[in-house]
């Protein structure tokens, strides 16, 4: 078992067992159990690979209980990509006929049948977009992502309103859009993920896309890595920064609040976008920008990837991030990812009184101060 990992044996051996990966791993920090940290997981994978132990339920549970947040790699002196190794291990589990964890079965089935994790119809995808954008061909194409399409429409509306107002022409894929494939790739279903990538590639070609922009951090990560060879892929904040630099967005109204931008793992560590959201927020007049103690590549995952698989842990991790934001005096948490937004809001539900905190997605928050400028 885990023969695929042989290919990475030299990498696995390079683990110094230094424990640096403990520091940023929410799963390890949760109950301080080594077998859930990257170092422990690597040891287990090696043990299975070498036949030292069987692929037990216990090992599988540890392979499953990983956020793929890559905080371990950001701290790893040997640069070990535990996230990738975990996904490889999951692939091999799938190849061996081991089904995806129970909590994720519905997500998988929905993606297979409806091309989104929620099992909602194609037709509802894009009702929030200007009708002409859904029809048009354009160099610039908007890829909303499933979470934004179906539940966090405000994120799409906020961004598109700025583009519309500034006369920036774009097309929106809407019903032609498919899940980017990230959820199934993380389940170890590589072929299913590839199929989705191929479908999205066709849809983007059909619209004449040269540049694709998306409101979703997970899609930014996946599109950059799978379609980046053919299209320029931008997170919406990167596009908005370009517009702001061209004078197409005016920041008018004061926003005299203490705002902390909380890096998402997909956008930050995975897609390398750290500055664009900060740049936009810092332009809000009178804003006071704060930073989390662990930020940028060292940021700690909010738990979002566990929303379906381990909802209780997801909420707990979110609450921990919010507590940190409160401890540095933040009044507003800004995020640039729908999963972070959903999960942090879920985590914040239990907070009361003056410990309540405003949680906003960047483009939505910009609306309070920014106006598009026609050129």
Name the strand (E) or helix (H) holding 162: helix 153-165
Residue 86 interacts with other proteins (CB under 8 A): yes or no? no
**Could you tell me which stretch among 57-65, 137-145, 164-172, 350-358 binds other proteins (CB under 8 A)?**
57-65
Pair 234, 223: CB distance under 8 Å = no
Cα–Cα distance list, 104 to 47, 76, 88 (Å) = 26, 29, 18
Structure tokens at 67: 């956020």
Give the one residue of 6, 50, 58, 358 binding other proteins; rule: CB under 8 A: 58
Question: Closest approach of Cβ 253 to other proteins, in Å?
Answer: 33
Q: Which CB sits closer to ligand SF4, 107 or 300? A: 300
Specify the stretch interacting with ligand SF4 by CB under 6 A; choose among 43-51, 60-68, 196-204, 347-355.
60-68
Shortest CA distance to 196 belongs to which of 220, 168, 176, 216? 176
Task: Indicate the SS3 state at residue 211.
Answer: strand
Dump strand ranges (E) for 130-210: 140-143, 171-172
Q: Is 248 in the site for other proteins (CB under 8 A)?
A: no
Q: Which of 3, 6, 50, 77 binds other proteins (CB under 8 A)?
A: 77
> How many CA atoms lie less than 13 Å away from 158 in the CB half-sphere?
21
The answer to whether residue 45 forms part of the interface with ligand SF4 (CB under 6 A) is no
Of 52 and 167, the one with the shorter C-beta distance to other proteins is 52
Q: Which of residues 14-33 bind other proteins (CB under 8 A)?
A: 14, 16-20, 22-23, 31-33
Instruction: Specify the residue, 319 or 366, whose C-beta has the smaller distance to ligand SF4.
Output: 319
Contacts by residues 148-152 (CB-CB < 8 Å, ≥ 24 positions apart): 148/215, 148/216, 148/338, 149/116, 149/124, 149/125, 149/177, 150/116, 150/118, 150/120, 150/124, 150/125, 151/118, 151/338, 151/342, 152/215, 152/338, 152/341, 152/342, 152/361
> Count residues contacting ligand SF4 (CB under 6 A)?
29
Calculate the CA 201 to chain-centre distance.
20
Residue among 39 and 157 whose Cβ is closer to ligand SF4: 39
Is there binding between residue 166 and ligand SF4 (CB under 6 A)?
A: no
CA distance linking residue 11 with residue 204, whole number of Å:
36
Q: Which does 325 bind (CB under 5 to 8 A by kind): ligand SF4, other proteins, none?
A: none
Site residues, other proteins (CB under 8 A): 10, 13-14, 16-20, 22-23, 31-35, 37, 39-40, 43-44, 47, 52-53, 56, 58-59, 62, 75, 77-79, 293
What is the binding site for ligand SF4 (CB under 6 A)?
15-21, 24-25, 27, 38-39, 41-42, 66-72, 75-78, 80, 82-83, 301
């Amino acid at each position: 078992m885990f023969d695929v990992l042989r290919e990475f044996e030299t990498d696995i051996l390079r683990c110094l067992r230094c424990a640096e990966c403990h520091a940023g791993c929410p799963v390890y920090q949760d109950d301080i159990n080594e077998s859930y940290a990257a170092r422990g997981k690597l040891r287990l994978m090696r043990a299975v690979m070498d036949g030292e132990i069987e692929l037990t339920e216990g090992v599988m549970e540890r392979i499953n209980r990983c956020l793929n947040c890559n905080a371990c790699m950001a701290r790893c002196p040997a640069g070990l990509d535990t996230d990738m190794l975990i996904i490889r291990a999951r692939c091999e589990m799938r190849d061996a006929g081991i089904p995806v964890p129970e909590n994720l079965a519905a997500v998988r089935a929905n993606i297979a049948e409806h091309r989104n994790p929620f099992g909602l119809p194609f037709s509802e995808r894009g009702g929030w977009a200007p009708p002409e954008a859904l029809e048009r061909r354009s160099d610039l194409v908007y890829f909303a992502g499933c979470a934004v399409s179906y539940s966090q429409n405000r994120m799409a509306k906020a961004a598109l309103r700025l583009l519309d107002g500034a006369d920036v022409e774009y097309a929106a894929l809407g019903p032609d859009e498919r899940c980017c494939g990230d959820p199934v790739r993380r389940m170890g279903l590589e072929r299913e993920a590839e199929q989705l990538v191929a479908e999205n590639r066709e849809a983007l070609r059909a619209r004449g896309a040269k540049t694709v922009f998306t409101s979703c951090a997970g899609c930014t990560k996946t599109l950059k890595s799978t379609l980046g060879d053919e299209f320029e892929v931008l997170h919406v904040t990167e596009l908005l920064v370009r517009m702001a630099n061209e004078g197409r967005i005016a920041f008018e109204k004061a926003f005299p609040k203490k705002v902390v931008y909380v890096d998402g793992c997909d956008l930050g560590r995975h897609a390398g976008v750290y500055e664009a959201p900060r740049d936009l927020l810092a332009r809000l007049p009178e804003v006071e920008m704060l930073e989390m103690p662990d930020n940028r590549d060292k940021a700690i995952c909010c738990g979002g990837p566990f929303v379906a698989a381990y909802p209780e842990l997801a909420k707990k991790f979110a609450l921990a991030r919010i507590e940190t934001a409160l401890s540095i005096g933040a009044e507003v948490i800004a995020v640039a990812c729908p999963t972070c937004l959903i999960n942090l809001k879920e985590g914040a539900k239990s907070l009361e009184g003056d410990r309540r905190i405003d949680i906003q997605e960047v483009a939505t928050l910009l609306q309070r101060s920014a106006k598009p400028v026609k050129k």
